[in-house]
Amino acid sequence: MAFSEQQYSEMSEQLQQVKHEISKFIVGQEEAIEYTLYSVLADGHALLEGLPGLGKTMLIRTISEVLDLSFSRIQFTPDLMPTDITGTNIIERAENGKQQFVFQPGPIFSQMVLADEINRATPKTQSALLEAMGEKTVTILGDTKNMARPFFVLATQNPIEMEGTYPLPEAQMDRFLCKILVPYPSKHELMEIMKRTTGAVEITLEKVMNTDQLVLAQKMVREVLVAEEMMEYAVNLVVATHPDNEDALLEVKQYVMYGSGPRGLQSIIKLAKARAVTNGRFHVSIADIKSVAKPALRHRMMLNYEGEASGKTVDDLIELILSSIQQGAKL
């Protein structure tokens, strides 16, 4: 192992400090903070879904400040064009009087990109993110340009039933490491939000990590050990989401149109590793895998018409799958 137990312990303390600093500004939303941070540590992208006004945008902006990452925000609208995201070549006059094409980079060229209300743009515009999210490059008129490192797309979307939204293409949904649901705050949290946002005290955020420290944390996440039985448990979990699997639960066969692919399995392992490091461990446990199963799989399972009509949710089915799979190791 490239890193010592002491290094994992120190990194865990620093990550707990990151969470504490974020929670100084963001009230509640512990799960959203945790899984967004896991996505960043796992070098992946995250999709946050919730009603307008629940602090999704502020959460992402706060994380970029605490991690000292360059930040850009793209407001997705129905008339947004792909070049508004990636940038384009413009004609400029050189000193010698000749005209030449000069690339004008778009907002995608930042370390942390907030794709705000991503499902308000047309599928054509949404697809402009595909190459950047998958390959971390952008190709414009045959010229391939590398993204900043590290590079994250943290997107927000309103529930799909809301007016003026477009469903995300399945290929793009699959690019997100996890999908995080942002719930409505409790009565106590609403009181705290009111005090923090309408009072005279101004909250200042400290930069807890820098780019080099974050890259080191990502390397430590990749080095986390995954035992054979943990891998087998994760594989069984993904296979159990397939309705055509003969051993699938009756509810999965009845209500699911299609299940998770290989990226779902990769997401489970990556998020489980990030959770282990955050908790000061250098090995993945069953508890890690169970904890990240819903965020990693909920956007990779599609319900059929009967499933939609029955009122079942993907989270309900994942819960049933988790309780049905025999685990090969103790918690």
Predicted confidence (pLDDT) per residue in 313-329, tens digit = 999 999 999 998 865 43
Angstrom distance (rounded) from CA 42 to CA 275: 9
**Cα separations (Å) of 55 from 32, 51, 180, 224?**
10, 9, 13, 32
Structure tokens at 288: 């890690």
Give residue limits of the domains in the chain: 5-210, 224-324
Angstrom distance (rounded) from CA 74 to CA 115: 5
Q: What is the pLDDT of residue 161?
A: 61
Angstrom distance (rounded) from CA 189 to CA 55: 12
Per DSSP, helices labelled H in 157-313 are 170-175, 187-198, 211-222, 228-239, 250-255, 262-278, 286-297, 305-310
The answer to whether the CB of 122 falls within 8 A of the CB of 79 is: no
Predicted confidence (pLDDT) per residue in 251-301, tens digit = 999 999 988 989 999 999 999 999 999 998 889 999 999 999 999 999 998
Specify the pTM. 0.87
Q: What is the pLDDT of residue 1?
A: 58
Pairing mode, if any, of strands 99-105 and 46-49?
Answer: unpaired
Selected from 3.40.50.300, 3.10.20.30, 1.10.8.80, 1.10.3720.10, the CATH number assigned to the domain covering 224-324 reads: 1.10.8.80
Q: What is the pLDDT of residue 169?
A: 74
Q: What is the pLDDT of residue 216?
A: 92
32, HSE (Cβ side, Cα atoms, 13 Å): 27
Query: Of 205, 221, 209, which Cα lies nearest the Cα of 278?
Result: 221
Selected from 2.40.50.140, 3.40.50.300, 1.10.10.10, 3.40.190.10, the CATH number assigned to the domain covering 5-210 reads: 3.40.50.300
The stretches in the chain having pLDDT less than 50 are 328-331
Angstrom distance (rounded) from CA 182 to CA 156: 10
